[in-house]
Amino acid sequence: MQEIVSSHERTYAMGRYIGKRILQSLLVILGVSILIFILSRVIPGDPGRLALGPRATQEAVDALNRELYVDRPLPVQYVYWLRDVFRGDLGTSIITRRSVSLDVKQFLPATIELMLFAGLFMTLGAIFLGKRAAKHRDGVIDGLVRFLSYAGIAMPAFVVSILLLLLFGHFWQVIPVLGRLSPGVAAPNRVTGLFFIDSLLAGRFATAWDAFLHILLPAFALSLGGMFQNARLMRNALVENSGKEYMTVSRSYGLPEKRLLNRYLMKPSSGSVITVMGLDLAAMLGNAF
């Protein structure tokens, strides 16, 4: 009987805890929404004038302000703003003059494709360079990775992009640098919105290769900073764990270094690197858009 009561008490306590956490999350979301709304409204300038430009008539500006509800009190503006958020209405872009939702729907697949390739390059490059640097500790490769990690963090991605454009697109002209596909190459039927994946699904391998060449330079430029930073983290973790007792015991069994590295050392050394890579992928999504 006591076990049944104890089980009910635990269930009740767990339900209270979950309900409390949900309520706290809702309050946090509400607070963040209010903060975002206030920050968007304290920016100086007339929203209607900013959207229509300096040559627009005052009547047109006033009409747009009424349409955007910016002539209403702030609490009323917040209610309309929150309503539009729940409807998925993100407003109208002042650049394209179209619905922001349509722009996001059109450009988000290209952004995701760029982020996926950049994340792939970053992950593979970080693992490869980190392993090489740890294997040749305090050698030339280790020093090169150390230098590149500092340079990759200090140099913005747009500077790397410009250098790559000049080298591969202007001087050598070996990699295309404009658009997602070459002129005359038809886009594949839309399935995912990712040209490379959609081309593979359609069996158009030449189109997939063309899409890959177009995304190669921007993805590589976007991945360099995180690649060298995570390579350095991987190297440090491998060097630190290679001196642990379990590695000494494994070496005493006569296991080859390559097997020790790939089977016994990589897994415990990847925890912190994977955490940082996750943060880098989130940052890439913002930088790629």
Asked if residues 236 and 131 have their Cβ atoms less than 8 Å apart, the reply is no
Residue 106 has what pLDDT?
A: 85
The CA distance from 148 to 154, in Å, is 10
Which are the contacts of 122, defined by CB distance < 8 A and separation ≥ 6?
Answer: 223, 226, 227, 230, 277, 280, 284
- Asked if the model's pLDDT at residue 3 lies above 70, the reply is no
Q: 202-249: per-residue pLDDT in tens?
A: 999 999 999 999 999 999 988 888 888 899 899 988 888 888 887 888
Residue 6 has what pLDDT?
A: 64
Q: 90-102: per-residue pLDDT in tens?
A: 777 777 778 888 8
- Asked if the model's pLDDT at residue 287 lies above 70, the reply is no
- Domain spanning 100-288: which superfamily? MetI-like (1.10.3720.10)
- Asked if the model's pLDDT at residue 280 lies above 90, the reply is no
**Residue 163 tokens, joined:** 């250098």
DSSP letter (8 states) at residue 194 = -
**Where in the chain are all domains bearing CATH 1.10.3720.10?**
100-288
The CA distance from 22 to 29, in Å, is 11
The CA distance from 238 to 240, in Å, is 5
- Asked if the model's pLDDT at residue 43 lies above 70, the reply is yes
Residue 160 has what pLDDT?
A: 85
Mean pLDDT on 111-140: 90
Mean pLDDT on 5-23: 81
pTM of the model as a whole: 0.76
**Cα angle, residue 84 at apex, residues 71 and 24 outer, rounded to 5°:** 110
Q: 128-177: per-residue pLDDT in tens?
A: 998 888 888 888 888 888 888 888 778 887 888 889 889 998 889 889 98
- Asked if the model's pLDDT at residue 288 lies above 80, the reply is no
Q: Which of 127, 136, 155 is nearest to 232 (CA)?
A: 127
**More confident position, 44 or 115:** 115
**First and final CA of the chain: distance in angstroms?**
60
Average pLDDT over the chain, rounded to an integer: 85
Q: Which of 250, 247, 241 is nearest to 271 (CA)?
A: 241
Residue 143 has what pLDDT?
A: 87
